[in-house]
Amino acid sequence: MLSTIDLVIVAVYAVGLFALAQWVSREPAGQQKSAQDYFLAGKALPWWAIGASLIAANISAEQIIGMSGSGYAIGLAIASYEWMAAFTLLLVGKFLLPIFLKTGIYTMPQFLEQRYDSRVKTVMAVFWLGVYTLVNLTSILWLGALAINTVAGVDLSFGLAGLGIFAVAYSLYGGLRAVALTDIIQVILLVMGGLMISWILLDQIGAGAGPMAGFTILTQQAPDKFHMILNEGHPHYMSLPGLSVLLGGMWVMNISYWGFNQYIIQRALAAKSVDEAQKGIAFAAFLKLLMPVIVVLPGIAMFVLNPELSAPDKAYPSAMNLLPLGIKGLVFAALLAAIVSSLASMCNSISTIFTVDVAPSLGIESDGGQRSVTLGRIVAIAAMIIAMLTARPLLGNFEQAFQYIQEFTGFFTPGIVAIFMLGLFWSRTTATAALISAITSAALSLLLKLYWPDLPFMDRVGLVFLLCVAVGVAWSILRPRTQTGFLDPAGVSFSTTQGFNLSAIVVTLMLIFFYAVWW
């Protein structure tokens, strides 16, 4: 439970965030928000807002608590999700963003319509709306409510409703601008809170000798937790199948998430320029390198401090109970920051896709101005209400909700990546081939899960991706069609600044060092 000083800190955070969001969202006197203002922050986001918002949207309660739990059970190997994402971000900034920004799109379905046709756009738009509302938004709400219930004893229903209402309230007026320009505060809080909890836990392990001494003792007392690549006999090999982590399906999942996911890429689409977007991407990559210290190391530390926990996912809440007054409130505020930022980002992406891609198909014409903004706000409220009403029925009976969610989205991820990669870099890919690849992804994933249950999830994703690409190429060759929407990459500049290049080199060298030390 939180003390009075902890509650004061949380209240100051909530009031300050709401006030700041309204202040950065204000418009000059007599001027109304346009669709570009609301959905893409006026295409004027600076690099620091882009980088911070990418991380704030990505990190939520299920990742903080889930990855700490994985750190407790598996060890540092789970950090591959974070460290490989850093390199993936650089690839997205170098090779994908220049194409997307040149097209001037608002959404990923909009790109698919330009490249293929309205069928592909509509199918993928409806799919993403369903997944974002009934899978992602509900999971963030439910697991966030579970997290604050575990940490602070807040009733589940009250926590769920409170999180949803607050997330909508602070972001409803300003849209993406309100979310992105306040995410720097969210990330600062998240990093400060995470570093504090790691510092305090390591200091306890070191018996007051400091975090460095504690880390040395930690590596000595739990050496099995400091291996990045798991052997085939490891009990968690199915989750992280050895070298496949570096060479297989994790690339497909990362590229899908960071490159083609509206919920994430919308921040980069709102950049002032390609250079500004790439600087933001580089900033996010450096933050990703830091994330395992915040979300994995506490779990490993708790394995040494309390190896008898009833469940790995109790590692982070148990760690918070060891914090002194005041610090606990700050870390709890950081946890809330992660939750509400992800909720607000998801709602904004749902409203963007519906307003830009689905509404015109339903005969609801948008004017690119106040009518579009109003529709976007209505959709954001409706999506949150639906998620609040369905979160408990959909996820309340699952003991490991996050794993079920990963399994579900993994059915479709290979096809999504195949559609985009073929569409971006092979001019002969047809719209029908893209649709068939999407169907192939779901069908093959289900068949492999049923008839090859021993195949690790990550390997299955990689294999299905290769098969989807093969199907898309074969169909396009056998049934060729002219696709006028192809933007030849040869006409796009992929040159990057010296700053971006230097950042890429530093990140790559750091990753090589991490894997070499903890192989």
pLDDT recorded at residue 326: 84
489/417: higher pLDDT: 417
Q: What is the spatial distance between Cα 201 and Cα 327, in angstroms, rounded to a whole number?
A: 13
For residue 403, pLDDT over 70 is answered with no
Q: Which of 4.10.640.10, 3.40.50.300, 1.10.3720.10, 1.20.1730.10 would CATH assign to domain 4-9+42-406+511-517?
A: 1.20.1730.10
For residue 418, pLDDT over 80 is answered with yes
Confidence of residue 96 (pLDDT cuts 50, 70, 90): very high
The H or E element that residue 443 is part of is helix 431-451
The 10s digit of each residue's pLDDT in 3-29 is: 889 889 999 999 999 999 999 888 877
CB-based burial label for 161 (10 Å; 0-12, 13-18, 19+)? middle
Q: Bridge-partner residues for 45, per DSSP?
A: 271
Summarize the confidence of residues 326-353 as an average pLDDT: 91
Sign of the torsion angle spanned by Cα atoms 91, 503, 190, 74: positive
Q: What is the spatial distance between Cα 419 and Cα 424, in angstroms, rounded to a whole number?
A: 9
pLDDT recorded at residue 376: 93
Q: Residues in the chain, how many?
A: 519
Summarize the confidence of residues 442-464 as an average pLDDT: 93
Q: What is the spatial distance between Cα 186 and Cα 180, in angstroms, rounded to a whole number?
A: 10
Residue 301, CA atoms < 13 Å, CB-side half-sphere: 31
Tokens of 330: 């700050």
The three-class DSSP label of residue 258 is: helix
Domain boundaries, the chain: 4-9+42-406+511-517, 411-487
For residue 408, pLDDT over 80 is answered with no
pLDDT recorded at residue 86: 96
For residue 163, pLDDT over 60 is answered with yes
Q: What is the spatial distance between Cα 492 and Cα 504, in angstroms, rounded to a whole number?
A: 20
pLDDT cut 70: percent of the chain above it: 97
**Cβ(268)–Cβ(280) under 8 Å?**
yes
**What is the SS3 assignment for 221-255?**
HCHHHCCCCCCCCCCCCCCCCCCHHHHCHHHHHHH
Structure-derived torsion over alpha carbons of residues 237, 242, 245, 247, reported in degrees to the nearest 10: -150
Tokens of 286: 């450096």
In angstroms, the Cα distances linking 204 to 133, 159, 210 are 42, 31, 8
For residue 300, pLDDT over 90 is answered with yes
**Cβ(444)–Cβ(137) under 8 Å?**
no
281: nearest Cα among 90, 65, 22, 484: 90
**Cβ(80)–Cβ(206) under 8 Å?**
no
pLDDT recorded at residue 402: 56
What residues contact residue 457 under an 8 Å CB cut-off, 6+ apart? 238, 239, 249, 406, 407, 410
For residue 61, pLDDT over 70 is answered with yes
The 10s digit of each residue's pLDDT in 311-320 is: 888 888 888 8
Q: What is the spatial distance between Cα 187 and Cα 341, in angstroms, rounded to a whole number?
A: 10
For residue 400, pLDDT over 60 is answered with no
Summarize the confidence of residues 206-230 as an average pLDDT: 92
Summarize the confidence of residues 460-472 as an average pLDDT: 96
pLDDT recorded at residue 114: 94
**Cβ(315)–Cβ(297) under 8 Å?**
no
Angle at which helices 457-478 and 401-410 pack, to 10 degrees? Answer: 20
For residue 227, pLDDT over 60 is answered with yes
Confidence of residue 401 (pLDDT cuts 50, 70, 90): low
Mean of the per-residue pLDDT values of the chain = 90
pLDDT recorded at residue 214: 94
411: nearest Cα among 447, 456, 441: 441
Summarize the confidence of residues 243-256 as an average pLDDT: 90
Which of 50-54, 57-61, 148-152 is predicted least confidently? 148-152
Summarize the confidence of residues 49-55 as an average pLDDT: 95
Summarize the confidence of residues 60-85 as an average pLDDT: 88
pLDDT recorded at residue 321: 82
pLDDT recorded at residue 389: 94
Q: What is the spatial distance between Cα 468 and Cα 444, in angstroms, rounded to a whole number?
A: 9
Confidence of residue 30 (pLDDT cuts 50, 70, 90): low
Tokens of 158: 């009250």
Summarize the confidence of residues 501-510 as an average pLDDT: 96
Residue that the structure tokens 């698919």 belong to: 112
Q: Which amino acid is at 454?
A: D
pLDDT recorded at residue 355: 94
Q: What is the spatial distance between Cα 481 and Cα 130, in angstroms, rounded to a whole number?
A: 30
Confidence of residue 455 (pLDDT cuts 50, 70, 90): very high
Summarize the confidence of residues 314-329 as an average pLDDT: 85
